[in-house]
Amino acid sequence: MYPGLGGSGGVLKATPDTVYGGPWAGGKVFWYVTRSYRGRVLIRGRRLDDSQQWVGFGGDKVPAARELRVESWDTVSWNGQIPGSRGIASTVRVRTTGCYGVQVDGTTFSRVAVFTVGA
């Protein structure tokens, strides 16, 4: 499983919350699952130089969750989709710019992805 930041060179552009006025900013991330992996996935993250700054997912004024779970049946369709691959879109929520990491755990793998959040 890999996060897709839209060809941004590892930078997630987080936009301030103008709807709810909360301290969280967010950006869309597409989580791509290779066709060879069919199991569940758990994604959690935090700012790397501040363990109190965790990554949230979805939600309104505050993130709905501190982790994102992708079940084996979760997927959306997209143009150019490789047969058998799957993926989901989510909103990644943070409170400050900086360097973040997410740990992506499946039943047969564990990966860490590092990215920068810019304004």
Whole-number pLDDT of residue 5: 63
- pLDDT by residue (tens digit) across 61-110? 888 899 999 998 888 887 877 888 888 888 889 998 889 999 999 999 99
CB-CB neighbours of 87 under 10 Å: 19
Q: Give me the phi and psi of 70, to 5 degrees please.
A: -115, 115
The CATH code of the domain that includes 59 is 2.60.40
Global confidence as pTM = 0.85
Whole-number pLDDT of residue 48: 94
Identify the domain containing residue 72 by its residue range. Answer: 2-118
- Please list, in sequence order, all residues whose beta carbon lies within 8 angstroms of the beta carbon of residue 115, skipping any fewer than 6 positions away: 3, 5, 10, 11, 12, 99, 100, 101, 102
Whole-number pLDDT of residue 10: 67
Structural domain count of the chain:
1
Instruction: Share the mean pLDDT of the chain.
Output: 85
